[in-house]
Amino acid sequence: MECATKLQPDEQRLADMTAIAEHRDQAALGRLFDHYVPKVRSFCLAAQPGANLMADDIAQEVMIRIWNKAHTYKPDTASLNTWVFTLARNARIDYLRKNSRHQSDIDPEYLWQNVVDENADPFKDAQQKRDQERIKDALEKLPQDQKQVLAKVYLEGKTHKEAAEELSLPLGTIKSRVRLALHKLTIYIKR
């Protein structure tokens, strides 16, 4: 496609989302597959090293959800990356729920739904972009030890307690690193 080459990768992916929602465009889904499937797989493998089959299953599940839910994606409430991250996170939770020793009766679909739909706000789009930019910039400047703890929580799916055990550090140290980091990222405001 000629016009496709002129777009920035981010804009191309947004155009692909529209093409999926409006025209069921499989080529567009193919491009999103190439971009997101390796990410979803790495995200899963970080938590369960070596679990390739699980990573494949979750990645395919995420792509199905993108295909089926593209029309519900609202660019002004979340960036596409954030939206796909939440899909991957929820698919991982769902997979573990269905396949673990400790099966759960709680359906995660009901838990994260209500946070997504908020009332329309004309300033939200700008605000959302500003927040994301600020977090991205601050994350780059974060000291390694603070970044490491956050990565454990986000990528490896560890709770703060588990991260403390794994790094052989007291829970208090982990907590203060996280608070310091989140403060710099302007996420944590002391109440």
The total of other beta-carbon atoms located within 10 Å of residue 152's CB is: 21
Q: Is the Cβ of residue 7 or residue 46 nearer to other proteins in the bound state?
A: 46
Q: What are the DSSP calls for 129-184, one per residue?
A: HHHHHHHHHHHHHS-HHHHHHHHHHHTS---HHHHHHHTT--HHHHHHHHHHHHHH
| Residue 123 touches other proteins, criterion: CB under 8 A | no
Binders of other proteins among 18-57, rule CB under 8 A?
26, 29-30, 33-34, 37-39, 41-43, 45-46, 56
| Residue 71 touches other proteins, criterion: CB under 8 A | no
Residue of 2, 102, 122, 141 that binds other proteins (CB under 8 A): 102
Q: How far is the CB of 127 from other proteins (least distance, A)?
A: 10
Q: How far is the CB of 64 from other proteins (least distance, A)?
A: 5
Q: How many CA atoms lie within 13 A of 106 on its CB side?
A: 8
Q: Is the Cβ of residue 3 or residue 22 nearer to other proteins in the bound state?
A: 22
Q: What is the CA 75 to chain-centroid distance, rounded?
A: 15
Q: Is the Cβ of residue 7 or residue 65 nearer to other proteins in the bound state?
A: 65
Residue of 6, 98, 101, 141 that binds other proteins (CB under 8 A): 101
Q: What share of the chain is helix, strand, coil (3-state, %, to 5)?
A: 75, 0, 25
Q: How far is the CB of 53 from other proteins (least distance, A)?
A: 11
Binders of other proteins among 146-165, rule CB under 8 A?
150-151, 153-155, 157-160, 162
CA separation for the pair 37, 31 (Å, rounded): 10
